[in-house]
Structure 1
């Protein structure tokens, strides 16, 4: 936490510009098909996000009225850098949304054709009550397992504020030895996100951190961009 062993507090400010989502929707019998250059689904009630990472990306999503769905999202087609090619295939079930309790569960397969040692599976599940959600995911990869919890609260009244908290545990099959002779085989990290609309912008702040400090950060491989405590400010403005 802040104040412990002189952790690093980094402050970033930036402007993110987002384009209007490009999604094509079609009916195929009882199924709804979505093709697009932006992720059409956020699995596990926001826990598992299909991120845009490469220059060329896209995917499809096929949903049945019963709640079952399957799809594929490629955040990087590997056109400019073949080693970055990634294919994420998923299968799941989501109870049709209403004003009461909803739920979702499923499985994602992350595939890296040129880097097969990074292939992994992830199980996810989530429940929702109105606009608030609780989700969990468990990932099994080569030489490690990762478990994550997410709490997403929609605090519309009276603050008009969105808040999400994410906490994760990471366990390595083999310890990572540090320069001071210590080792790391298990660690935790977390993040807190707050955002709200302001005029034509959306203002957000994120605090993230982990329980690794000092030389231990050389073994960090968690969900955050930084091992140490950090604070990030973000302003978003849509183009359309």
Structure 2
């Protein structure tokens, strides 16, 4: 088990001391590059951070060495409100160039809910980077279901001037889920498309997410998005660090 509780406590204390608009602080700590941020900073692991409800407190820390080793902890939700639960995503990985603009990355991420007795799980991930673009996959195998995820950051689209990232996942239940009308759901798929563009110092993000579940079938949903149904969200944020 990956245990990074002290790092989370440090990150929480520092994040709460920052202005609300701050996004990232970066420092050199000996041979390590230290990052403290309110958004995920790790390229491949970022695509696997579990979703959190809008309005929750979130943040984490990341340490990386010049030899390619890195580890960190991100809290999608710090559980500071009555309706939120503390979530911790711990990860450790290795990233190296293969020559030119080609590189690879592998790692493992641990999803945990410290205030709950169960629901902990692991995911193995890996991917390739080429010319500033990244594509990868992950497998999360836990007793209740198995999830396979493909994600890609395709970089700037030349005709539109926006960055595009895509994530698609398939979830297979170990035991079929019975919904209200008596029918059973063996599994489901979900996906998201994210368009990003800087504008006058502000990062604009437009995201469309959806799944192949609908109606009462959404009772079985526990996927990569915050909701089962089709949803479009627009987010604007400005970094002051």
Structures share fold, TM-score greater than 0.5:
yes
TM-aligned CA distance change 1:237 to 1:223, over 3 Å: same
Tell me which of 13, 23, 26 is aligned to 2:25. 23
Distance, in Å, in 1 between the alignment partners of 2:58 and 2:45 is: 26
| TM-score when normalising by structure 1 | 0.77
Structure label with greater radius of gyration: 1
| TM-score when normalising by structure 2 | 0.76
Give the drift of 1:140.
2.2
Distance, in Å, in 1 between the alignment partners of 2:76 and 2:231 is: 26
Distance, in Å, in 1 between the alignment partners of 2:110 and 2:161 is: 36
SS of the residue corresponding to residue 118 of structure 2 reads helix
What does residue 34 of structure 1 align with? 34
SS of the residue corresponding to residue 196 of structure 1 reads strand
What does residue 141 of structure 2 align with? 140
Does the CA contact (< 8 Å) of 1:161 and 1:196 recur in 2?
yes
> Do residues 209 (structure 1) and 210 (structure 2) align?
yes
Task: List aligned pairs for 1:149-164, cutoff 5 A.
Answer: 149-155=150-156, 157-164=158-165
Task: List aligned pairs for 1:9-158, cutoff 5 A.
Answer: 19-28=21-30, 31-34=31-34, 36-38=36-38, 41-44=41-44, 46-49=46-49, 55=57, 57-59=59-61, 61-78=62-79, 84-96=85-97, 99-155=100-156, 157-158=158-159
Distance, in Å, in 1 between the alignment partners of 2:102 and 2:215 is: 44
TM-aligned CA distance change 1:147 to 1:50, over 3 Å: closer
Distance, in Å, in 2 between the alignment partners of 1:19 and 1:232 is: 19
Does the CA contact (< 8 Å) of 2:23 and 2:240 recur in 1?
no
What does residue 14 of structure 1 align with? none
Does the CA contact (< 8 Å) of 2:49 and 2:89 recur in 1?
no
Does the CA contact (< 8 Å) of 1:45 and 1:126 recur in 2?
no
Deviations 1:32-77 (A, max 9, x none): 1415253563242642247787547543x33222211223334455
Does the CA contact (< 8 Å) of 2:51 and 2:226 recur in 1?
no
Give the drift of 1:98.
7.1
How many residue pairs get aligned? The number is 220
What is the root-mean-square deviation of aligned Cα atoms in Å? 3.0
Does the CA contact (< 8 Å) of 1:45 and 1:127 recur in 2?
no
SS of the residue corresponding to residue 116 of structure 1 reads coil
Q: Which runs of 5+ in 1 are unaligned?
A: 1-16
What does residue 174 of structure 2 align with? 173
